[in-house]
Structure 1
């Protein structure tokens, strides 16, 4: 029913997105509540207003420039074409069998990518704009999850038999501890990646350094594939200036990911998931098929929850 009825799918998506955002922002609300001596409702409103303000600032500051850059995206392929033509002439590749054919095929593919990119970018922007009204409900749902989450939790527990409630509470508390640790470690890791990316982009004077850094930090939530996805916007924008700058950005992003994978990740994340990398890759592929980008973000936390659930059921019941 979820996949065949668009209304039900939209409703469930809004509830899930609101719950996930509220759960993620719950520690920040608790900090505001304790530090500023606010009520739970006032702290919740403050957190939501802060998020809305950040989104509005992002839209106002980046959207006009984004439309301009989309219209000028052909400059990227002009720069690439000039770069390839320079290499082709400098190394006299015309004498190599098949080089001329390969060169022409690359240019042909580039023009095709340009046409598809422009069409898809405009269609996606229109689609996002048409869904803004629907997702305006998300802040309202977040408010109720942040304010009345404990009440909803207790009401749901009342649906269970009395003898099962204690065990369920223990299992849910264990899930909450592991999940909170995972989310906190991921947010801290993404923050480090965002800062390092921002420094790299500032050094090479790439446009939109702040927003590309934020985007790369968000993509970094996805294990293994996230760093690749996150590097693409930086490389594409660098190509607006020159292919050489893009190559430097590729090298810089590679170094950042080595720092993240070999230094930061073991220190910050540790074994918070305790899931084999092969299993995580399979889960990411499943998440991509079921929910796209959002599915890839949510599939690992869901797997962590299921693992804790399995371990606790074995411990408490068997």
Structure 2
């Protein structure tokens, strides 16, 4: 042990070997943890949805609680506001969206034909062999057809899949309100409950960690909703001005995808770009330029103003994290990676500050 303390290299090497042994042992006995994994997977979606809704409507709850001192009434009023928002979405937005989805589906063949015609004109103008282009389009059509076929087969694989989807949807529908109720009712008491189960010397650290988690989660989730709303409304106005059909649906898609930083607005605006390209190349170019301007305003003005400096991240860090999360988990990872990173970063800073303060006190 004394040798390990004197040699940092062997100390680090020993730690790495022990970590490797732990991972190896876990792989050997991983079947023991299957019930815990199933429990976590079943509750993951309801918890994530409940936490997002909790922080989105937390200002409503706090304002109501200031006016009305009773927790139960404040929670009921908050639930009433959530119900009003859902009613507005289902009664006003969804019918228009379904209508525009139908129009968009009927528009897809003409969009594809226009794109093919544009490719043909491009190959003729620049003297490019069309045989390779047609072969590529043919292969693409086959691959797309195979993908669609696989999706349809997976969706219609049997009654078991339908029952599983129904059960999971029911779990989410009935679990999320229950989780929301306890989050609003006992959320303020959670730090005190954490303090009770940690040793007395770590009480201050536990409280600081809970505060850092709450502050960063609240800033990110609440701020991200406002930023997505800004992008969606701005995109909707741009599509209306440019005369792009189904502007409401395309603006909503752009706003939703903005939850993915940097890449989101461009991914969400891709369907609008394809439709704009069938109108005219100028329209598609203007759409690209205006969406880029919206994204720049979001990155350098709206996001810092709404979220504050506590969540500032270097653009290179954001891009690396998003690409890594996409490769590791997919779309869900791209959505969750930044709030998780922001929370972990804040908690790590709290721990480092705690360690440094303890060292200073010990040296005095």
Q: Same fold (TM over 0.5)?
A: yes
1:13 corresponding residue in structure 2: 45
User: Is contact 1:44-1:146 (8 Å) kept?
Assistant: no
1:196 is paired with a residue whose SS is helix
Partner secondary structure for residue 187 of structure 2 = helix
* Equivalent position of 2:212 in the other structure: 174
Q: Does 1:234 align with 2:272?
A: yes
Q: 1:37 to 1:7 in 2, by over 3 A?
A: closer
Indicate if the aligned counterparts of 2:191 and 2:207 stay in contact, CA closer than 8 A: no
- Name 1:277's counterpart in structure 2: 315
Task: Note if 1:66 corresponds to 2:101.
Answer: yes
Unaligned runs of 5+ in 2: 1-32, 357-364
| SS of aligned partner of 1:207 | coil
CA 295–152 in structure 1, closer or farther in 2 if over 3 Å, else same: same
Any gaps of 5 or more consecutive residues in structure 1? none
The correspondence of residues 271-310 of structure 1 with structure 2, limited to 5 A, is 271-310=309-348
User: 1:193 touches 1:217 (CA, 8 Å); kept in 2?
Assistant: yes
State the distance in 2 between where 1:206 and 1:35 align. 45
Correspondences of 1:209-224 after superposition (within 5 Å): 209-224=247-262
> Which deviations, in whole Å up to 9, do the C-alpha atoms of 1:153-190 show, x marking residues without a partner?
54344322344233311232233334433344433333
For the residues of structure 2 that align with 1:168 and 1:7, how far apart are their CA atoms? 26
Report the equivalent of 2:352. Answer: 314
Query: Does 2:79 match 1:79?
Result: no
Match of 1:191 among 225, 229, 240: 229
Distance 1:288 1:260 in 2: 22
SS at match of 1:73: helix
Q: Confirm or deny: 8 A CA contact 2:100 2:246 kept in the other structure.
A: no
How many matched pairs?
312
Q: State the TM-score, normalized to the length of structure 1.
A: 0.79
Q: Which has the higher contact order (CA 8 A, sep 6+)?
A: 1
Q: Would the alpha carbon gap of residues 271 and 311 (structure 1) be closer, same or farther in structure 2, given more than 3 Å must change? A: same
Q: Distance in 2 between matches of 1:171 and 1:119?
A: 48
The 1:51/1:291 distance shift into structure 2, 3 A limit, reads: farther
Q: Which residue of 2 aligns with 1:133?
A: 170
Higher Cα Rg, which structure: 2
Deviation at 1:202, TM superposition (A): 0.8
The answer to whether the Cα contact below 8 Å between 2:55 and 2:222 also exists between their aligned partners in 1 is no
After superposition, the C-alpha distances for 1:100-130 in whole angstroms (9 at most, x for unaligned) are 2343245325534653675578689988975
Would the aligned equivalents of 2:323 and 2:334 in 1 still touch at CA under 8 Å? yes
Q: Secondary structure of the residue that 1:136 maps to in structure 2?
A: helix
Q: TM-score, normalised by structure 2?
A: 0.71
User: Take 1:194 and 1:28, find their aligned partners in 2: how far apart are those partners?
Assistant: 22
Moved more, 291-300 or 68-77: 68-77
